Amino acid sequence: MMKNNLGGFDFLGKHYNQNNMEIVYANDIDDNACKIFEENFNLKPDNRDIREVESSELPDIDVLTGGFPCQSFSIIAQNPKRLGVKDDRGKLFFEMCRILREKQPKCFIAENVKGILTANKKEAFPLIIKEFENSGYTVKYQILNSANYGVPQKRERVIIVGFRNDLHIDFHFPESVIINSSEFEPLKKVIENSVDEKYYFSQRAVDGMMKCREKMNKGRAQDIEKPCNTVGGTSRKSLIE
């Protein structure tokens, strides 16, 4: 099994030291995501459906990380209320809890869009946290924005961190590195100088986007003097001025 240390790189003039962590396993059902992961981390992910992967097949781990779709959750009308799913995507959350219960790593990190806090009339998220706690972990969560930590993108995500109960660790989220939005890293610092023509919009598309820029949601005109807005997965159209 391939292993790779994390850290040990330079980004926007800052050096990030190599840490004492190794990636020993990765899983994603999307072929393109697997290719990008392998290119960046020199580790080929297991691209089977995670529901088909037995915990006994996984290596021993200290930290489990994962993201799971939130749009699949629903509250089944029962007494007491239980966490239900509308489709197979929602089962990824339960698979993460399954691995936590059966492998018992020291801690886990999960992430999701901030909308999960209000999903199902704010009833889904408390049940999600409860499932993590019932897996044997002390859990905390917080909304973090990547722009506050030197990334030239405004990306708010709910980060959920849990430590195994027997470790008695009182975790605290790190303070923001950048508080004043005027000091955020601008998009222009990471734009490539040479871009293939196939990635450019036609002039007609550019004119249309600029005309509707104030009401645009999915496709957005990006200001290179500011951090990039998050580009949604359902529409990856983004115009750079």
Give the residues across from 66 on adjacent strands.
110
If asked whether residues 100 and 161 sit together in one domain, one would say: yes
If asked whether residues 154 and 208 sit together in one domain, one would say: no
Residue 180 clears pLDDT 70, i.e. is over it: yes
The answer to whether the predicted template modeling score (pTM) of the entire model surpasses 0.75 is: yes
If asked whether residues 229 and 148 sit together in one domain, one would say: no
Q: Which of 70, 97, 107, 228 is catalytic?
A: 70
Residue 136 included in any domain: yes
If asked whether residues 207 and 127 sit together in one domain, one would say: no
Question: How far is 216 from 164, CA to CA, in rounded Å?
Answer: 44
- Over range 17-44, report the average pLDDT: 92
If asked whether residues 232 and 148 sit together in one domain, one would say: no
- Tell me which of 138, 167, 196 is where a domain ends: 167
If asked whether residues 53 and 138 sit together in one domain, one would say: yes
If asked whether residues 56 and 159 sit together in one domain, one would say: yes
Q: What is the pLDDT of residues 86-134, one digit of tens each?
A: 666 666 788 999 999 999 999 999 999 888 888 888 888 998 999 999 9
CB 3 within 8 A of CB 45: no
Domain count, the chain: 2
- pLDDT for 53 equals 95
SS3 of the chain: CCCEECCCEEECCEEECCCCCEECCCECCCHHHHHHHHHHHCCCCECCCHHHCCHHHCCCCCEEEEECCCCCEEEECCCCCEEEECCHHHHHHHHHHHHHHHHCCCEEEEEEEHHHHCHHHHCHHHHHHHHHHHCCEEEEEEEEEHHHHCCCEECEEEEEEEEEHHHCCCCCCCCCCCCCHHHCCCHHHCCCCCCCHHHCCCHHHHHHHHHCHHHCCCCEEECCCCCEECCCCCCCCEEEC
If asked whether residues 191 and 161 sit together in one domain, one would say: no
Residue 237 clears pLDDT 70, i.e. is over it: no
If asked whether residues 121 and 53 sit together in one domain, one would say: yes
More confident residue, 176 or 74: 176
SS3 of 139-153: EEEEEEEHHHHCCCE
Percent of the chain topping pLDDT 70 = 81
Residue 35 included in any domain: no
Residue 38 included in any domain: no
Residue 55 included in any domain: yes
Residue 201 is part of which domain span?
186-240
If asked whether residues 119 and 215 sit together in one domain, one would say: no
If asked whether residues 214 and 155 sit together in one domain, one would say: no
Residue 124 included in any domain: yes
Read off the pLDDT band of 204 (50, 70, 90). Answer: confident
Question: How far is 214 from 223, CA to CA, in rounded Å?
Answer: 13
Known active-site residue 70? yes
- pLDDT for 97 equals 95
- Tell me which of 167, 202, 217 is where a domain ends: 167
Pairing of strands 137-145, 156-164: antiparallel
Residue 87 included in any domain: yes
Residue 229 included in any domain: yes
